Amino acid sequence: MNPTSAHPAKIPVRAALPAWRATAVWAAVTLAFATIMVQAWRAQVEHGQFLRDQGAQRYLRHFPLPVQRGSIFDRHGKPLALSVPVKTLWVDPQIFSQQHQKWPQVAADLGISVNELQTRVHNGGSHFAFIARQIDPERAEKITALRVPGLYSLNENRRYYPAGSIAAPLIGFTNVDGNGIEGLELAYNQWLTGKAGEETGLRDNYGHPLSLRGPAHAAQPGKALTLSIDRHLQYVAYTSLASAVQRFQARSGAAVLMDAQSGEVLAMVSYPAFNPNDRSDYQAALYNNRAIADTFEPGSVMKPFTIAAALDDQSIQPDATFNVNTNCFRVARFCIQDDVRHNNLDLAQVLKYSSNIGAAKISLRTPPADLFHMLRQAGFGQSSGLGLPGESSGTLPAWQGWDIARRAAMAYGYGLSVTPLQLAAAYGAIANQGVYVAPTLIRQENPGAKGTRIMPAATAARLTQWLTGVTGPGGTGFLASIPGYSVAGKTGTSIIANGKGGFHKNQVNTTFVGFAPARNPRLVMAVVVRGPTQGWRYGGVVAAPVFRVTMAAALQSMGIQPNPALLESATAAHQASASETQRWAEGVGDAAH
Amino acid sequence: MRRSTVILAILIMVTLIGIVAARENTRSQFIALQEAQAKHFALDNRWGQLQLEQATLASNARVGDIARQKLGLSAPKNNQIVMVKAQ
């Protein structure tokens, strides 16, 4: 008998696992899964969007979509300001700095030295630096084709001004980011600026888009602006003004041409001006829109309003005459003079010969409040409402403060200051049968009758008739006459104030304001040439020819036919003699005040 | 193998192929979008250049110079103007 069989080997008996152990394992596994599920719930449902956004921020890029700034057109649809697509090159300095071997090629294509490229890279931030802004797209493509890691391109728009300097002070300009900072570009910045778009997606190391995420926010282009300006007339006004400023070696000039009935400004020029397409040679003085910013004592061009105020309150009658036969009409401590001595002058002759003494006598008969209200209603001493930056209101002191000397001086345009635009708009009221229409620079689709009556139609008609004599033979505005057309207007020559209560010895403003055709006025224009130093320095000599050239072009451009009778007599009338030329002169009396 | 399992496997395969096809479609559409945007930019650029070119060619100074110097034109004098009455 095998003892072993008798006593089978002892098999170690494992004690039965306790029941809690399996339960514990299951519980642990279940708990672990439950924890995972909870975390998964939290990550994907509860905080899902937040985490997705956080992730996206780390690998997605926002690509700005360039917005097109609205164009500016003249009244015939000719462009005055355009935005053209260009490219801007930028780099991520941290990546680009590792590509030194390619820098010479990039610098050569940009037309700069490697040192300059290095400066531009270092001038930027840690992840962004412009190396070339707003360059020709073809040139930019050539550089990006080098496939330099860390070098990227952006689409932008650059502003161009096809009219150049002739409209520059009026149109203004934008900065490199496309925001208007001067002129109409600034005044209508909100209208012209669109809303920038943006799209989000992935880009490779060369900046090329790989995929987009979600719909793009499309850019909304800016709205176009159609001005009342006529580019051709703007050109004619600018060149004739520039010619006068150069010929008489004046300091500056400004002119405004308006439609008398609608108030639309057809031309607004300043000289000297600047080239808005190249502002590297910055001179702040050239950026002024002198037609609205420069104020001056207007001189004799104010006489028609003195007469209108006196006629309206019946201080004088239309057939009144004034004895001006004196070398010195003394008012308080001032001596008022005329440059040519006359005997008795009626109202037409006071204007025709620009008699300071006659105008002062009229003003002294008129209650100052009436003259003040006439000037105020004609737009003096207040903004024109164009909304252009830098516009001056001029000054028109309250009538309560006028002493007798000022009352006399106001009659012939001293003691107040105006802008060329205010003069044009005020004369527009005379041309428009006594109704003042506020000037506008925006093309009016349906110019209807509107405005404020500032004088009776009969008074406006009389003034028009008398002002026509100013441009006739013997009148001070003879050089403003246009063959074939009747022209009404007034010359002005005023000594420039020195800001210390006195006047500069030899510095004058020469002015001409007028309208045509006098029988049915359509256009009104004001011309101011500041500080001529050569030749006959009078409004009738310096400013009137600018009016004639521009107005003639404007009348032809608008299809206003000349009067054949006036055309035939015009040739002989224009043969001015030396003595007639002398009559154009005026302002000696002004100088003595 | 159960029939339902086979059907499920087929459905999964179809779905996977659909996903691949959708991905491919997205890529090709994206490439087309990129090309269209590039063309849009190029056309925009060309349009701007043409507008500038037209404005430059039609500038008053240029037209005036050509009229005076090349064509020998000048503004008519008063005695050269003939008024024609409209019938």
- pLDDT of A75-115, one tens digit each? 999 999 998 888 899 998 888 888 888 889 999 998 899 89
Residue A398 confidence (pLDDT) above 80: yes
Residue A587 confidence (pLDDT) above 60: no
Contact A392/B at CB under 8 A: no
Per-residue CA distances from B3 to B7, B8, B13, B16, B17 (Å): 6, 9, 15, 20, 21
- In the prediction, which pLDDT does A12 show? 66
Which amino acid is it at A485? Answer: Y
Contact A139/B at CB under 8 A: no
Contact A78/B at CB under 8 A: yes
Residue B40 confidence (pLDDT) above 80: yes
- In the prediction, which pLDDT does A4 show? 47
- What is the ipTM for the molecules in this complex? 0.71
Choose the most confident range, by mean pLDDT, from A101-115, A209-223, A277-291: A101-115
Q: What is the DSSP letter of A413?
A: T
- In the prediction, which pLDDT does B86 show? 64
Cβ within 8 Å of residue B39, ≥6 positions away: none
CA-based Rg of chain A, rounded to a whole angstrom? 39
- In the prediction, which pLDDT does B76 show? 76
- In the prediction, which pLDDT does A583 show? 40
Contact A79/B at CB under 8 A: yes
Domain A231-275+290-592 homologous superfamily, CATH = DD-peptidase/beta-lactamase superfamily (3.40.710.10)
- CA atoms within 13 A of residue A475's CA, in its CB half-sphere: 28
- Token pair for A2: 């095998």
**Cα A357 to Cα A434: distance, rounded to the nearest angstrom:** 26
- What pTM did the predictor assign? 0.81
- What mean pLDDT do residues A331-339 have? 86
A304 SS3 class: helix
Q: Could you say which of A84, A162, A567 has the minimum Cβ distance to residue B83?
A: A567
CB contact under 8 A, B60 and A212: no
Element (H, E) at A84: strand A79-91
Residues of chain B with Cβ-Cβ distance to A567 below 8 Å are 78, 81, 83
In this prediction, residue A207 has a pLDDT band, given cuts at 50, 70 and 90, of low
Contact A569/B at CB under 8 A: no
Enumerate the CATH 3.40.710.10 domain ranges in chain A, comma separated: 231-275+290-592
Residue-wise pLDDT for A534-555, tens only, equals 888 889 999 999 999 999 999 9
Residue B44 confidence (pLDDT) above 90: no
Residue B85 confidence (pLDDT) above 80: no
Of the two residues B69 and B80, the one the predictor is more confident about is B69
Interface contacts A/B by beta carbons within 8 Å: 58
Q: Could you say which of A82, A209, A236 has the minimum Cβ distance to residue B48?
A: A82
Residue A236 confidence (pLDDT) above 50: yes
Of the two residues A339 and A81, the one the predictor is more confident about is A81
In this prediction, residue A588 has a pLDDT band, given cuts at 50, 70 and 90, of very low
Catalytic residues of A: 300
- In the prediction, which pLDDT does A448 show? 65
- What mean pLDDT do residues B3-30 have? 94
Per-residue CA distances from A575 to A60, A474, A484, A550, A570 (Å): 79, 12, 15, 21, 9
CB contact under 8 A, B41 and A483: no
- What mean pLDDT do residues A241-268 have? 94
- In the prediction, which pLDDT does A484 show? 85
Residues of chain A with Cβ-Cβ distance to B79 below 8 Å are 571
Residues of chain A with Cβ-Cβ distance to B59 below 8 Å are 162-164
Cα A232 to its chain centre, rounded Å, is 18
Residues of chain B with Cβ-Cβ distance to A235 below 8 Å are 60-61
- In the prediction, which pLDDT does A592 show? 27
- What mean pLDDT do residues A267-292 have? 86
Pair A425, A300: CB distance under 8 Å: no
In this prediction, residue A370 has a pLDDT band, given cuts at 50, 70 and 90, of very high
**Cα A300 to Cα A294: distance, rounded to the nearest angstrom:** 18
Residue-wise pLDDT for A431-449, tens only, equals 999 999 999 999 988 766 5
In this prediction, residue A565 has a pLDDT band, given cuts at 50, 70 and 90, of confident
Residue that has been written with the tokens 């024609």 in this structure = B84
Cβ within 8 Å of residue A319, ≥6 positions away: A346
| Percent of chain A whose predicted confidence (pLDDT) is above 70 | 91
For the ranges A35-49, A491-505, B20-34, the lowest mean pLDDT is seen at: A491-505
Q: Could you say which of B59, B61, B78 has the minimum Cβ distance to residue A483?
A: B78
Contact A77/B at CB under 8 A: no
Residue A490 confidence (pLDDT) above 60: yes
In this prediction, residue A430 has a pLDDT band, given cuts at 50, 70 and 90, of very high
- In the prediction, which pLDDT does A66 show? 74
CB contact under 8 A, A571 and B78: yes
CB contact under 8 A, A212 and B51: no
Q: Which residue of A has its CA nearest to B40?
A: A85
Contact A160/B at CB under 8 A: yes
In this prediction, residue A593 has a pLDDT band, given cuts at 50, 70 and 90, of very low
Nearest to residue A131, comparing CAs of A116, A146, A141?
A116
CB contact under 8 A, B51 and A571: no
Of the two residues A414 and A12, the one the predictor is more confident about is A414
- What mean pLDDT do residues A22-41 have? 94
Question: How many other CB atoms are found less than 10 A from the CB of residue A408?
Answer: 27
Residues of chain B with Cβ-Cβ distance to A78 below 8 Å are 55, 58
Interface test with A, best of B31, B37, B46, B51 (most A CBs within 10 A): B51
- In the prediction, which pLDDT does B22 show? 95
**Cα A424 to Cα A474: distance, rounded to the nearest angstrom:** 24
Task: Quickly list DSSP for A503-559.
Answer: EEEEEEEEEEEEEE-TTS--EEEEEEEE---SS--SHHHHTHHHHHHHHHHHHHHTT
Q: Mean pLDDT score of chain B, rounded to an integer?
A: 86
CA-based Rg of chain B, rounded to a whole angstrom? 35
- In the prediction, which pLDDT does B31 show? 87
Residue A10 confidence (pLDDT) above 80: no
Cβ within 8 Å of residue A407, ≥6 positions away: A363, A364, A368, A371
Pair A558, A312: CB distance under 8 Å: no
Cα A42 to its chain centre, rounded Å, is 59
Residues of chain A with Cβ-Cβ distance to B45 below 8 Å are 84-85, 137
Interface test with B, best of A86, A160, A238 (most B CBs within 10 A): A160
- In the prediction, which pLDDT does A153 show? 87
Enumerate the CATH 3.90.1310.10 domain ranges in chain A, comma separated: 63-195+221-226
CB contact under 8 A, A84 and B79: no
**Cα A418 to Cα A297: distance, rounded to the nearest angstrom:** 6
In this prediction, residue A523 has a pLDDT band, given cuts at 50, 70 and 90, of very high
Element (H, E) at A472: none
Residues of chain A with Cβ-Cβ distance to B27 below 8 Å are 211
Q: Which residue of A has its CA nearest to B75?
A: A553
- In the prediction, which pLDDT does A590 show? 31
Q: Could you say which of A85, A232, A570 has the minimum Cβ distance to residue B60?
A: A232
CB contact under 8 A, A567 and B60: no
**Cα A501 to Cα A494: distance, rounded to the nearest angstrom:** 15
Cα A275 to its chain centre, rounded Å, is 14
- What mean pLDDT do residues A193-208 have? 78
Q: Mean pLDDT score of chain A, rounded to an integer?
A: 86
CB contact under 8 A, A85 and B44: yes
Q: How many Å lie between the alpha carbon of A443 and the closest alpha carbon of chain B?
A: 20
A63-195+221-226 to CATH, choices 3.90.1310.10, 3.10.20.30, 3.40.1130.10, 3.50.50.60: 3.90.1310.10
